Amino acid sequence: MIDARRLAAGSLLALALVAGCGPAAGSPTSSAAATAAAGSSAGTAAAAIPVHVLDFKIQPVDVKAPAGHLELAVDNAGPTVHNVTIRDASGTVIVATKDLKAGGTETISADLKAGSYILFCSLPGHESLGTKATLDVGP
């Protein structure tokens, strides 16, 4: 016969193991869940705007967004290493992705006031060859 105390202890151990079997901290699943939870508790968050950097252009060429918190989901769709950098009208860099290899992605965010900004690749010569776009932030 099964001892009731051993059965209860085994059941508690099994529950503890199952509760600890979620995704590991930092895994894509737990990060997505944490992001979703953070977004739902903070209210509705705007979706990241997709931006594609290629040789030698950024698509879309004209990005429009409301003032406030902005997220850009950047992907390097070209064969050359690129980044996407945001600078304001005075030339001050606001935020930039790391240098992305072909197929690389990164989401960047910034809190922006209404105005015109430039998206560009800051690697030498890339902006002058056309790797740039405008970012118009509205009220």
Asked if 99 and 70 touch (Cβ cutoff 8 Å), the reply is no
Average pLDDT rounded to a whole number, residues 87-106:
98
Q: Give the count of beta carbons closer than 10 Å to the beta carbon of residue 37.
A: 10
pLDDT reading at 54 higher than 90: yes
Intervals of CATH 2.60.40.420 along the chain: 49-138
For residue 15, give the 3-state DSSP assignment.
Answer: helix
Segment among 1-5, 7-11, 30-34, 69-73 with least mean pLDDT = 30-34
Q: What is the CATH superfamily name and number for domain 49-138? A: Cupredoxins -  blue copper proteins (2.60.40.420)
Q: What is the pTM of this model?
A: 0.68
